Amino acid sequence: MGGVILLFSLLACRPASISSQATGAAPTATVRQSLLQIAPVHTIPPVTPLSDLSRYADGLFSAYTDSVEPGVAVMVIYRGAILHEAGYGLADLQHTAPIWPQSPFRLASLTKQFTAMGIMLLAEAHQLRYDDPITLYVPELSRIAGPVTILDLLHHTAGLPASHEELRDLYQLDTPTNADVLAALNRRPDLLSPPGVKFNYSNVGYGLLATIIERVSGQSYADYLQDHIFDPLGMALTVVDENTHPVIPERAIGYLPVTGGFTLNDHDTLDNIVGSDGVYSTLEDLYLWDQALYTDQLVSKATLARAFSPSATTKGAAIPYGFGWWLGTYQGAPFEYHSGAWLGFRTYIARYPQQQLTVILLSNRADFNPDNYGKLLADKYLKRLK
């Protein structure tokens, strides 16, 4: 099979027909029809490419164009218009299935922004407060987490372990859940640092936020996000998967490069733990998510402003992290971003709100560096669009 590169020409109402340039025997018609049956029509604008920039983007990912390998889905958005949308490589090596705009990828840590939005929705509904101690909702942790607040979890200042892997020896089940995380934490000694004193990036903390969402709302984490975020935005192919062997139609499979090819790197016994990970989504659904963050469709502008504002430790040290987003500057202008890495998935979203530019990368190969490619694309587009 020759190169696999799919360039998408989108009509005003989506999903619509896709024109692609591809060679080989990938079952594109079958995959395409299956995806159309899954997803209702979304309102996605047509692609309006700038030829020189699209050629540059194609060149960045040419290594995946000329080989039958896992690859990457790429979208660039500018002022609501999609300037580039392309799939490079395969979503599924076994079935030689290419990457489409509707191919769901595991988002890994991009999940955190949805977890944070769940907390923001509950706060706006006056069902919790950011300064509430988390023991109001998880009293099981009273021994070690008495002073920890919800805000500490959002900003990674709770003093919790960085990863769920660090608790593996304390889990009582082979496939632990969020409930098992609570029990494991109670088997540990004290926190790594007092709450609020130090920034410690923590997947465990965002897992606790998912548990709080469940206990406050009375719904599962998956159902709450579905009812309050995904469905209202029309994100029809976005789901939370709490299964160690996900059954999601036409999704991208995760791979790890090895000598002579690739091996599956797609699921783990920790995949039943959600909050820091667990969401699968697509380029086009993330377009809807990105655009909603310019509006008050989910929460107020004041709440969004707080989510995209840096914080500080109790000792005054700056924390370049909001509610599920890293925060930085580009040529003096703010931008918010996050990357994800779990198993064979590498993901990235960066938003430049003053310029209204967004870059999204979803990859199913463990050797992909989304931060590097995302910055290269943003730099090229921002310079061209001045």
Catalytic (active-site) positions:
109
- Cα–Cα distance between 48 and 50 in angstroms, integer? 7
Alpha carbon separation from 42 to 46, 78, 147, 287, 356 (Å, rounded):
12, 19, 44, 11, 21
What are 193's two structure tokens? 């640092």
- The maximal CA–CA distance of the chain, rounded, in angstroms, is 61
Are residues 103 and 87 in contact, defined by beta-carbon separation less than 8 angstroms? yes
- How many other CB atoms are found less than 10 A from the CB of residue 224? 20
Burial label, 336 (beta-carbon count in 10 A; 0-12, 13-18, 19+): buried
Going from the C-alpha of 372 to that of each of 50, 66, 101, 106, 260, the distances in angstroms are 22, 21, 22, 19, 25
The Cα–Cα gap between 221 and 213 comes to 6
Rg for the chain (alpha carbons), in Å?
Answer: 21
